[in-house]
Each structure stands twice: as C-alpha cells, then as structure tokens.
Chains A and B, each alone.
Chain A
Amino acid sequence: MSGAAASGGLELEVTGASKRFGTNQALDDVSIKVRKGSVHALLGENGAGKSTLVKCVMGFYQADSGRVAIDGTEVEIVNPRDAHALGLGMVYQHFTLVPNMTVAENLVLARAHLPAVVDWRKETAELGRFLETMPFKVPLDATVAHLAAGEKQKCEILKQLYLRRRLLILDEPTSVLTPGEADEVLGMLRGLAQSGALTILMITHKFREVLAFTDEVTVLRRGKLAGSGEPRKLGADAMARMMIGSQTIPPPAARSGKSGDIRLEIDGIEALNDVGEPAVKGLTLTVRGGEIVGIAGVSGNGQRQLVEVLAGQRDHTAGQIVVHGDVFGATRTEMRRHHMAALPEEPLRSAAVGKMSVEDNMALRVFDQPPFASWGWWLHRAPVRRAAEKLIDRYRVRTNGPGAAIATLSGGNVQRAVLARELGSDVDVLIAANPCFGLDFAAVADIRGQIMQTRNRGAAVLLVSEDLDEILELADRIVVMSGGKIVYETPASGADLTAIGKHMAGH
C-alpha cells in the first residue's frame, strides 16, 4: 500500500467490472482507464451505472467480478477505508459537511485519526499553512451553514486535498453551483490535475463541462461501456449518441393556447425557514390558466420555503393563497378539489416515501378515494396495483415492478413516477421546483415536455428553478426572487438577461 507521504496523482484502471443487483445488471464488463494527472469524465444517463462503478472503486459495493489497479498494481478494496488508505477520495453530489461547525472544524474532524484532545491553535496554524499551498481560499473560521454553495463545494474539495487524497472522484460536483461557480471550481481542479498533484474522475451530465474541462471521457449506457475518447475530438454529438444509443430525444414541446383567468393568487405570503428566520417576506404573485410563470433566483432566497408552503409542507405566517377564488390551506381535500399538483425538488425526500412501493407512492394522493377505498378509509389493494401498472407503462417508469420500493429506482425514474402520479389525472394548478435537477437530458426533455403540455391543456404552472435556461425555455412570464420577495418581472419573450442576472444577484 502506498504511504500517506507519497504525493502526486494516481492512475486508476478498472478491468471487466460487473455488478448485479437482484435481476438488474447494473454493470456489465466495464473497463476504464484514468491516466495519472488527467481529468476524466464519466458520462451516462440515469441508471447507466456511473454511480455503481465509482461505488465499487470506493469499496461501498463489491463488484461481482473485475479488477482494480492503482498505478499498475492490482488492489483489493473491500470498504471505503481501504480506498482512503490508497489515496482515493470522493466528493458527493450533496454536501457532507457539518453545517453548524466551522470550516476548520470540518476539515480536522474528517481525519481518520484524531488525538483525544485537539490542540486547536496548532491545528489552525497548520491549516493556514496548508491553505497557502492551495490555489483557492475559504475562510477557516466561517460556519459552514453561512457559506454559499460554491464555497461549500470548495470546502469539500479542500477536505479531500487536506486528507492527501491523490485521486478524486466527483459525483456531479457542479449540480448545486451557479455557472460562474462551476467554471471556477472546475478550472481550479483542472489546474491541480495539470500540475500533477491529482487525478480526477468526474461524473457529469453536462457536455459543456466535459468539453471545456476534461481530457478524456468514458461513456456508459445501461451498464455497458458505450465508448471513450478525447471529448474535443469526439464532439458533443458523438458523445450524445454514445449516451442515448438509438433512442431519439423529442424536440422542445410547442407552446399553444392562450392564457385564461387567474387561477393562483399568492398574496403577501410570509414564511419562516427551519431555524425560525423570515425566509419569504411578503411575496405577491398571480398565475393564470395556460401560463407558466418562472421564478428565477439564486438558491437560498426563499424559493424552497415558498414551494413548501404551496405544497402543504410548511405553514405560512402571514398572507394568503387563493386558488380558483377560494382561500387555500393546502389540505388534502382542497388539493383534490382544485386539482393541484406539485413536483417538488428532491422528489425522493419530499414527494415520495422511499421505503414504500412504487404502487403505494403512486396512490399517495388518491388512496382514500373510490375505487381505491370504500367509505373513505377501507383500502383495496388490487385497484391500486392496476392503476400503478397503467401509469408505469404510460410514463415509462423503469422499475422491477409496482411492488418494488421506490428508493430502489434511479433518480430519473423516481421523478418520472412522481410525475406520473401528479400529471396522470386532471391538473388545474401545477407547482414545479427544479423538476429536472440532476437528470440526464433525455429525462429533462421528457419532463419539460410534460410540463409544457400541462400548460397547453390550460393549467396554471408556477415553475421555480435555479436553472435559468429552463426558465427561459418554458416560462411565459419571468419573475426574479431575491431576499424572499419578487424583485423583478418581465415577459419571457424579449427578456433582458443582464437585467435578470443583476436582480438575481440582489442589485
């Protein structure tokens, strides 16, 4: 095993890796070679096996067959500790920092061996010297909770470097960053790799990043190796074909029909965040039938709380919501009467019950209605299953069957299952929050198309998204949310991007 004193990027070679989960062949004879000091992209659709592959390398899973070699030597990695000892580190899509601790505390506590009493003065001095050797800085004594997403992601990367990891695996590292932050972080990682200090394997969906920042790319499709090469020689089209195979991606859905009467009125809504501070501060907004209103804004400006109020997950402290002219309290009966549907972000956490089956999740809203229940409380299983089978078929949800726990589905399929439930019946008002977050582009096109069709059928759609491109593609009217309020409004056609950007930044 290489000692911790050694430095410089590692070479990683995986040969013939296969992994089966039940009946699902997640990886089928996949080989990948990541050269020393390179930035290597791992591309693929949801469920293509990218996460499974890196989890096998990191020792979270054991591959059924296949070999892993580091710097040409075959190694056994049976748990993450083995991987760490070899100098492999992983940065996850979501942050693993302790929010209420400072950056310095987070870095020190990540070490495998800590003395019983931590000498903070000495540690802080050492951390300071360590930071001086780094191409970017984060304030050591800042509390992580107060850092912006980009800063947090930098901390995650710093943590790995501080632990002297020599090969970093990043799982969609830019999915929580603004485009500016993403460029900064990726540029810096590329610099570290070019200096020979680090080797980087990065899971991503974004072609732009692959083309601009990576040296090599490996593409997976349905668990199999679909191709590899140099991204700039291959070009975006060839990579897209490798990813999706013969599948065709539908063009953006056409906009049709006219906007009608006001369906949803949000009048002076105020709401608190989890720690009791005001997050939504007197927000007023109306949405008409047959109209998509896009709320643009930097994450953390009250969008999450606003959506939670509308979806019934958070109480509002002032103001009122009016749907179809009636005051709306987000109860089950009101949601049903007004045909309200919602696609919240992180559907597995906030719109589905992970341990319950796909069929139970699909029935979440209609469980107590005939034909699924008699007298409002006695439930029938057979109609639930039949309805789920229909939705699974119609929305092409890839699952081991309606009885499988929904947490076993890939991210895109969870989102599709939720979409099927929400849009499978009549919809008059739709609330969607970052509906395409973390999805590959076939799924993105599919879901955006569904949202547009819902609008075309006359529904009022409120779309909250951190992805400005998504808002520009879908919205009829764009508003910018900053500091818990609407600060700017413009029709989507002929919208001034600079003005939107300025208001997003709070100017």
Chain B
Amino acid sequence: MLRLEPRAQPSTAMLFATPLLAVALTLIAGLILFAILGVDPLASLYAFFVAPVETWYGVAELCVKATPLILCAVGLAIAVRANVWNIGAEGQLIMGGICGGGVGLFAPEGDWVLPAMFVAGALGGAVWGAIPALLKTRFNASEILTSLMLTYVAQYLLIYLVRGPWRNPQGFNFPQTKEFDSYASIAPLIEGTRLGIGFVVALLVAVGGWLLLSRSFLGFQIKVVGLAAQAAGYAGFSEKRAIWATLVLSGALAGVAGLNEVAGPIGQLLPSISPGYGFTAIIVAFLGRLHPLGCIIAALLIALSYIGGEHAQMSMNLPVAVASVFQGMLLFFLLACEVLIRYRVRTRRQLARG
C-alpha cells in the first residue's frame, strides 16, 4: 500500500520534474484515449505531436500560436506571484484587439500607425485589467470574479462592434471589419510564414518578466506581498500598489497579445479573435512554474497541442476537441503531481521501517 509522507522541505528536484512527469502521464493517457477511440495510438500521437512540426512552416506556426500564450502567461505568472488571480486575460486580450484594431481601422496612413496600435492594444488591456484592480483595492471585490465577468463584457463589445458600427460596408453583411491596410498590419519576419515581430516581443517580455521578478525592487515587493501580506505591510510595501501593478501589467501584456493576433495572423476584427488563449495561458503559467522563462517552454508545448489538434483532425479525422482534452489532462496531471513536491510516496512497509 502506498502512503504519502510529508517532506521536511519542498523538493527542488521535484519542482522541475513534475512538469515533465505531467507531460509523460498526459502522453500515456493520450495513448489509451486514442486506443479507445479506435485509432492507431502511435500513429495518432505522431500526427498530433510530431507531424505538425516536421516542416519549417510548421515550426513557424507553432511560434505563432505560442506568441499570445507567452504574452498572457508571463503577465499571469507575475500576478499570481503577488497572490493576484487574474482569470480575465481573455477579456484583456480582446480589449487589446479592439483598441489596437480600432486605431488600425480609423487612423490615417502613416508609419506611426502600427506602433500606435501596439500602444493602444496595451492600453486597452491595461484598462481592462485596471477595473478589477480598482474594485479589489476599493471594495475588496474578488479579482477572480470581476476579471472573469469582464471577459464576457469584452466579448460582447467586440461582437457588437463587428456586427454594428465597425462592420465592413463591402463585406456582404459578414460580421467582420475591413482588413487592415498593409501599414496597419504586422508583416511576416520570414517569407511564406505568418510569424511576425510579435514572437520576438513575446520572448523579450518573458526575459523582462524574469528580470523584473528576480532582480527588480518591484518584483521583490510583488513576491513579498504574495507570500506574506503581513510582512509586506511591515516592510512598508503597499499591497494595493502590488495589486494595481500586476493587474495593469498582465492586462497590458494580454492586450498586446490581442493586438498581435488581429494585426498579424487574423488581419481584421472578427467576432472571435482568440480560441481561448487567455484562459489557456492560465495552464501555461502554472505549467511554466510561474516562471517567465518557464512560460516560453510551456507555451510552445500547449501551442503544439493546438496545431497538433488541427493536424490530427485533417489527417486522422480525429475530433478537434482532442486538443482541449489534451490541455485539460495536462493541467489535471500537473496539479496531481504537485503533491510530490511536498510529499514523498513510500510504501507502508518502508514507513514502518523508517
């Protein structure tokens, strides 16, 4: 019989091993799942995880999908470090798309338009993150609820705009805006792919986030507030300031992600500009151990499950929901494996012997 014995100190080795273990368990569960679905498990796993990245185009697509995940997840990871649970990155991403996209649609032609779109996108996301911060610091309202509910507000605002005032007059009544002009679009970095400057921005943001947490005074305050609010007050760190800083920062990063989507791969505003990147980024942040650099690896892995799902749907006729199932299983196994950081598994016999 197996027993859990508390460790005297959390295991550092397990801290790094658990994400790998969770991935391995997800793959095993995937094999079983495919077998139950009645398809060849190994061929399906191949189609899901290897085939999509066999070409350079595939690799570029992987990075395209990872970009919004990295941007959102780095912000979320920093927020969670301050014990701020921003669940509304999806809404902040949409507001970034709306604000940045609005600038792209209506600004006169010029080289300044694209940078202005990035700024507007960041501001839009930041404002959407600032609302839960205001409600939390002023009325002690849970940011989990408020940020989540604001996601739906943003979603319906976007639907209203693309069906109503911003609809393309020459668009045959489709609920979409006109496509962005070339001065308002992100050009691919590599010819023949959709990989734009956004991926580079995401990598820089992750490095910046790492430096912020590890080496900056603000990052130190964020960590102290998150770990021990009492001690933070004692050291003269303001908990409210940490709430504001992390919600506005994570909102702004999600906003940039949204703008990067609409001005990059999508090229216009649609009723749906994200397949749930903002929510998936929560998985990414935890899979990446709330470490900004870990978020890069985790985002690439989750991005692979997105494009793998599409690929497996095309080549193996697997349902597209398999991608979500994989993401769900990954989070499930990750949370289940967390227990190994604080506990070790021993048999009852081992325990008795000591």
Q: Is the Cβ of A344 less than 8 Å from the Cβ of B234?
A: yes
Contacts of A78 in B (CB 8 A): 3, 5, 348, 351-352
Q: Is the Cβ of B224 less than 8 Å from the Cβ of A353?
A: yes
Whether, in the assembled complex, B217 has its beta carbon less than 8 Å from a beta carbon of chain A, the answer is: yes
Q: Is the Cβ of A60 less than 8 Å from the Cβ of B235?
A: no
Q: Can you name the residue of chain A whose Cβ is closest to the Cβ of B237?
A: A332
A283-342 CB contacts (< 8 Å) to partner B: 308, 311-314, 330-335, 342
Whether, in the assembled complex, B328 has its beta carbon less than 8 Å from a beta carbon of chain A, the answer is: no
* 8 shortest interchain CB distances as A-B pairs: A332-B236, A313-B233, A377-B217, A78-B351, A21-B8, A350-B230, A353-B228, A76-B352
Count residues of chain B with CB under 8 A from any CB of chain A. Answer: 25
Interface pick from A29-37, A62-70, A194-202, A471-479: A62-70
Q: Is the Cβ of A311 less than 8 Å from the Cβ of B234?
A: yes
| Count of CB-CB pairs between chains A and B under 8 Å | 89
A75-91 CB contacts (< 8 Å) to partner B: 76, 78-79
Whether, in the assembled complex, B227 has its beta carbon less than 8 Å from a beta carbon of chain A, the answer is: yes
Q: Is the Cβ of B217 less than 8 Å from the Cβ of A367?
A: yes
Q: Is the Cβ of A21 less than 8 Å from the Cβ of B6?
A: no
Contact of B233 among A61, A312, A334, A365 (CB under 8 A): A312
Q: Is the Cβ of A313 less than 8 Å from the Cβ of B6?
A: no
Whether, in the assembled complex, B9 has its beta carbon less than 8 Å from a beta carbon of chain A, the answer is: yes
| Binary CB contact string for chain B from 1 to 42 against chain A (1 if under 8 A, 0 otherwise) | 001011011000000000000000000000000000000000
Kindly provide the distance from the CB of B95 to the nearest chain A CB, expressed in whole angstroms: 29
A336-393 CB contacts (< 8 Å) to partner B: 342, 344, 349-356, 360, 364-365, 367-368, 373, 376-379
Known interface pairs A61-B6, A66-B354, A332-B236. Does A354 touch B227 (Cβ–Cβ under 8 Å)?
yes
Whether, in the assembled complex, B220 has its beta carbon less than 8 Å from a beta carbon of chain A, the answer is: yes
17 additional A-B pairs beyond A78-B348, A312-B236, A377-B218, beta carbons within 8 Å, are A21-B9, A63-B354, A66-B354, A78-B351, A331-B236, A332-B236, A334-B236, A335-B236, A350-B230, A350-B231, A351-B230, A356-B227, A360-B220, A368-B217, A377-B216, A379-B216, A408-B9
Cα A308 to Cα B233 with chains together (Å): 9
Contact of B235 among A62, A65, A332, A354 (CB under 8 A): A332
Q: Is the Cβ of B215 less than 8 Å from the Cβ of A378?
A: yes
Contacts of A333 in B (CB 8 A): 236
Cα A275 to Cα B5 with chains together (Å): 37
Whether, in the assembled complex, A22 has its beta carbon less than 8 Å from a beta carbon of chain B, the answer is: yes
Whether, in the assembled complex, A253 has its beta carbon less than 8 Å from a beta carbon of chain B, the answer is: no
B285-338 CB contacts (< 8 Å) to partner A: none
Whether, in the assembled complex, B223 has its beta carbon less than 8 Å from a beta carbon of chain A, the answer is: yes
Listed A/B pairs (18) with beta-carbon separation below 8 Å: A62-B351, A63-B354, A65-B354, A78-B5, A308-B233, A332-B236, A332-B237, A335-B236, A353-B231, A354-B227, A356-B224, A356-B227, A368-B217, A373-B217, A376-B217, A377-B216, A377-B218, A378-B216
Whether, in the assembled complex, A405 has its beta carbon less than 8 Å from a beta carbon of chain B, the answer is: yes
Contacts of B348 in A (CB 8 A): 78
Count residues of chain A with CB under 8 A from any CB of chain B. Answer: 45
Contacts of A377 in B (CB 8 A): 216-218
Contacts of B220 in A (CB 8 A): 360, 367, 379
Cα A313 to Cα B236 with chains together (Å): 8
Cα A368 to Cα B352 with chains together (Å): 50
| Binary CB contact string for chain B from 201 to 227 against chain A (1 if under 8 A, 0 otherwise) | 000000000000001111010011001
Q: Is the Cβ of B354 less than 8 Å from the Cβ of A350?
A: no
Contacts of A330 in B (CB 8 A): 236
Q: Is the Cβ of A379 less than 8 Å from the Cβ of B215?
A: yes
Contacts of A64 in B (CB 8 A): 354
Most central of A62, A63, A331, A350 by chain B CB within 10 Å: A62
Kindly provide the distance from the CB of B192 to the nearest chain A CB, expressed in whole angstroms: 42
Q: Can you name the residue of chain B whose Cβ is closest to the Cβ of A60?
A: B6
Contact of B354 among A62, A79, A379 (CB under 8 A): A62
Kindly provide the distance from the CB of A390 to the nearest chain B CB, expressed in whole angstroms: 20
| Binary CB contact string for chain A from 246 to 264 against chain B (1 if under 8 A, 0 otherwise) | 0000000000000000000
Q: Can you name the residue of chain A whose Cβ is closest to the Cβ of B219?
A: A379
Kindly provide the distance from the CB of A172 to the nearest chain B CB, expressed in whole angstroms: 21
Contacts of B224 in A (CB 8 A): 353, 356, 364
Contacts of A79 in B (CB 8 A): 3
Cα A302 to Cα B351 with chains together (Å): 47
Cα A333 to Cα B238 with chains together (Å): 12
Cα A354 to Cα B236 with chains together (Å): 17
| Binary CB contact string for chain A from 477 to 498 against chain B (1 if under 8 A, 0 otherwise) | 0000000000000000000000
Known interface pairs A364-B224, A377-B218. Does A351 touch B234 (Cβ–Cβ under 8 Å)?
yes
Q: Can you name the residue of chain A whose Cβ is closest to the Cβ of B215?
A: A379
Contacts of B230 in A (CB 8 A): 313, 349-351
Kindly provide the distance from the CB of A9 to the nearest chain B CB, expressed in whole angstroms: 26
Kindly provide the distance from the CB of A383 to the nearest chain B CB, expressed in whole angstroms: 13
Q: Is the Cβ of B5 less than 8 Å from the Cβ of A62?
A: yes
Q: Can you name the residue of chain B whose Cβ is closest to the Cβ of A361?
A: B231
Q: Can you name the residue of chain A whose Cβ is closest to the Cβ of B7?
A: A21
Contacts of A379 in B (CB 8 A): 215-217, 220
